[in-house]
Amino acid sequence: MNSQSARYFSRAQKVIPGGVNSPVRAFNAVGGDPLYVVKGHGPRITTADGRELIDFCGSWGPLILGHAREEVVEAVAKAARDGMTFGINTPREVEFAELLCSLVPVMDQVRLVNSGTEAVMTALRLARGFTGRRRIIKFDGGYHGHSDGLLVGAGSGLLTGGISSSAGVYVDEGDVFLPAYNDKQAVSDLIDAYGDEVAAIIVEPVAGNMGLVPPVDGFLEHLRAEADRCGALLIFDEVITGFRFGPTTYGEQVGITSDLTTLGKIIGGGMPLAALGGRKEVMQRLAPVGDVYQAGTLSGNPVAVAAGMKTVELLVEENPYDQISNVGKKLAESFQGLETNCVGAHNFYLSQLGGVFTPFFGRGPIRNLAEAKACDTKAHAAFFHAMLDRGFYLPPSQFECAFISAAHTDADIEAFISAVQDI
Ligand SMILES: *Cc1c(COP(=O)(O)O)cnc(C)c1O
């Protein structure tokens, strides 16, 4: 059924390590040959074998408007015709920075980069430069891109591959503390012991790389208070959550002020684009005004900015968030009472917030990495394949989020629900 995909994968394995340009695409966690996709439109993707699938992965988050949204494609084509890159400032960068700062008031200033990894790497360097301190508190299972200092206790593909760190990474002991997500006491204990050495607390305000794990009541407030207590910066890594639950960041929505915020995925509209922003006093430490270096040949690329700008404008204009969230709730209801024995799991818990969800094959609620890891990944793999056979593409790992887009129709959702009930 997937013979073209299988052929491409076998060719790929000869010339690309593991056949993929990002590990999770290899389907190691779910088994079977990974898919090759030739096009996407709205909520659907078409595989190299001509199969149409309804996509709930959305390129891991960027595609909140669905695939190849007409206005975004137009904006990209128009920008490309005017030149793909200059390495010189363009008016569009200024307009986009103004738009982001106006929608995310906690950001006085913003710098554009090419990937979430770069945004977070720079945010950390900036926090260390600004505070003159070295230690970082991140949470076990939090994924903040693949820069060296952050591949410690990281989630996402590292978790999927069953490793929580990487060879070739030398991080001094004590540089990165790894309390459990949602564990307020652990953070307080670390600040008690090392507070005056901590440069930053970095957190996904809603964890998305150990599967979807929302913050417990008071957790983010606690981080703000503890950062203030010791003079560390609070960094919200909003690469997934930014513009996900409303036309702003999650931090803005819940009224908690971060010192630095990283954005990516949605704000690039499907192109390689990310950003870091925050308090002016901190951002002014970046070169060329400050002493913390950061640069990029393609930073603020005009084609990428055109895609991001149009995407953000459409999100503001159309405000699809209530609609998406209602669909999310409907899906969550349909999962209730799901007979999971069919995939060999004894427990089932659907984690859902707005249009984001993770079916966990374990006992809920899931509040941290240890609880996520206790889930039955074999059952998850069986569920993934059962849904794929029925025409639905979900993230091929237990430790990732599925995303509902504004392009999913009621009929798509009904079909998804029937498929789940049919398993
Ligand atoms: C995806 C992600 C990143 C990394 O972004 P890339 O564009 O893949 O480099 C960083 N932080 C979080 C929270 C993410 O989900």
Ligand 1 centroid to Cα of residue 144, in Å, is: 6
Q: Which residue has the higher pLDDT, 4 or 158?
A: 4
Number of structural domains in the chain: 2
Residues 122 and 213 reside in one and the same domain? yes
Residues 74 and 213 reside in one and the same domain? yes
Atom of ligand 1 nearest to the CA of 60: 1
Residues 126 and 259 reside in one and the same domain? yes
Residues 41 and 84 reside in one and the same domain? no
Ligand 1 centroid to Cα of residue 155, in Å, is: 11
Q: What is the pLDDT of residue 343?
A: 74
Q: Which residue has the higher pLDDT, 378 or 159?
A: 378
Mutate to test the pocket of ligand 1, among 114, 240, 243, 273 (most ligand atoms within 8 A of CB): 240
Q: Which residue has the higher pLDDT, 161 or 344?
A: 344
Atom of ligand 1 nearest to the CA of 209: 15
Q: What is the pLDDT of residue 115?
A: 98
Highest mean pLDDT among 13-27, 100-114, 134-148: 100-114
CB atoms near residue 267 (< 10 Å): 32
The fraction of the chain above a pLDDT of 70, given in percent, is 96
Ligand 1 centroid to Cα of residue 237, in Å, is: 8
What residues make up the domain containing 225?
70-317
pLDDT (tens digit, 9 = 90+) per residue, 196-208?
999 999 999 999 9
Average of per-residue pLDDT values in the chain:
94
Q: Residue 418: is it exposed, middle or buried by C-beta count within 10 angstroms (0-12/13-18/19+)?
A: exposed
Ligand 1 centroid to Cα of residue 263, in Å, is: 9
Atom of ligand 1 nearest to the CA of 204: 13
Distance CA 41, CA 38 (A): 11
Q: How confident is the model at residue 304 (pLDDT cuts 50, 70, 90)?
A: very high
Average pLDDT in the 308-337 region? 94
Inform me whether the pLDDT recorded for 153 exceeds 80. Answer: no
State the CATH number of the domain containing residue 217: 3.40.640.10
Ligand 1 centroid to Cα of residue 365, in Å, is: 24
Choose the weakest-confidence range: 150-159, 174-183, 266-275. 150-159
Distance CA 7, CA 220 (A): 47
Atom of ligand 1 nearest to the CA of 264: 7
Residues 134 and 211 reside in one and the same domain? yes
Q: What is the pLDDT of residue 341?
A: 59
State the CATH number of the domain containing residue 407: 3.90.1150.10
| Atom 6 of ligand 1, residue of closest alpha carbon | 116
Q: What is the pTM of this model?
A: 0.96
Mutate to test the pocket of ligand 1, among 117, 122, 273 (most ligand atoms within 8 A of CB): 117
Instruction: Give the catalytic positions in this structure.
Output: 143, 237, 265
Q: What is the pLDDT of residue 263?
A: 98
Q: What is the pLDDT of residue 167?
A: 81
CA dihedral 229, 233, 239, 241 (to 10 degrees): 30
| Atom 5 of ligand 1, residue of closest alpha carbon | 116
Mutate to test the pocket of ligand 1, among 114, 121, 144 (most ligand atoms within 8 A of CB): 144
What sections of 27-85 are H helices per DSSP?
Answer: 70-81
Average pLDDT in the 61-65 region? 98
Atom of ligand 1 nearest to the CA of 118: 9
Residues 335 and 406 reside in one and the same domain? yes
| Atom 11 of ligand 1, residue of closest alpha carbon | 144
Ligand 1 centroid to Cα of residue 260, in Å, is: 15
Residues 332 and 288 reside in one and the same domain? no
Task: State residue 88 phi and psi, 5-degree precision.
Answer: -130, 155
Inform me whether the pLDDT recorded for 159 exceeds 80. Answer: no
Residues 107 and 134 reside in one and the same domain? yes
Q: Tell me which of 251, 286, 317 is where a domain ends.
A: 317
Atom of ligand 1 nearest to the CA of 156: 15
Ligand 1 centroid to Cα of residue 264, in Å, is: 7
Residues 60 and 78 reside in one and the same domain? no
The 3-class SS string of 189-250 reads: HHHHHHHHHEEEEEECCCECCCCCECCCCCHHHHHHHHHHHHCCEEEEECCCCCCCCCCCCH
Inform me whether the pLDDT recorded for 339 exceeds 70. Answer: no
Residues 111 and 193 reside in one and the same domain? yes
Q: What is the pLDDT of residue 423?
A: 85
Ligand 1 centroid to Cα of residue 60, in Å, is: 9
Inform me whether the pLDDT recorded for 312 exceeds 60. Answer: yes
| Atom 8 of ligand 1, residue of closest alpha carbon | 116
Q: How confident is the model at residue 164 (pLDDT cuts 50, 70, 90)?
A: low
Task: Kindly state the tokens that stand for 33.
Answer: 């040959």
CB atoms near residue 316 (< 10 Å): 14
Q: Tell me the torsion sign for CA atoms 59, 64, 67, 69.
A: negative
Q: Tell me which of 317, 339, 360 is where a domain ends.
A: 317
pLDDT (tens digit, 9 = 90+) per residue, 21-58?
999 999 999 999 899 999 999 999 999 999 999 999 99
Ligand 1 centroid to Cα of residue 345, in Å, is: 30
Inform me whether the pLDDT recorded for 268 exceeds 90. Answer: yes
| Atom 15 of ligand 1, residue of closest alpha carbon | 240
Distance CA 229, CA 209 (A): 28
Inform me whether the pLDDT recorded for 171 exceeds 90. Answer: no
Q: How confident is the model at residue 365 (pLDDT cuts 50, 70, 90)?
A: very high
Q: How confident is the model at residue 155 (pLDDT cuts 50, 70, 90)?
A: low
Distance CA 344, CA 209 (A): 24
Q: Residue 297: is it exposed, middle or buried by C-beta count within 10 angstroms (0-12/13-18/19+)?
A: exposed
Mutate to test the pocket of ligand 1, among 120, 146, 147 (most ligand atoms within 8 A of CB): 120
Residues 195 and 264 reside in one and the same domain? yes
Inform me whether the pLDDT recorded for 97 exceeds 70. Answer: yes
163, 196 contact by CB (below 8 A): no
Atom of ligand 1 nearest to the CA of 142: 13
Q: How confident is the model at residue 129 (pLDDT cuts 50, 70, 90)?
A: very high
Q: Tell me which of 317, 352, 383 is where a domain ends.
A: 317
Residues 80 and 229 reside in one and the same domain? yes
Average pLDDT in the 79-97 region? 97
* Residues in the ligand 1 pocket, defined by CB under 6 Å: 115-117, 120, 143-145, 204, 208-209, 237, 239-240, 264, 274
Tally: H helices and E strands in the chain: 14, 14
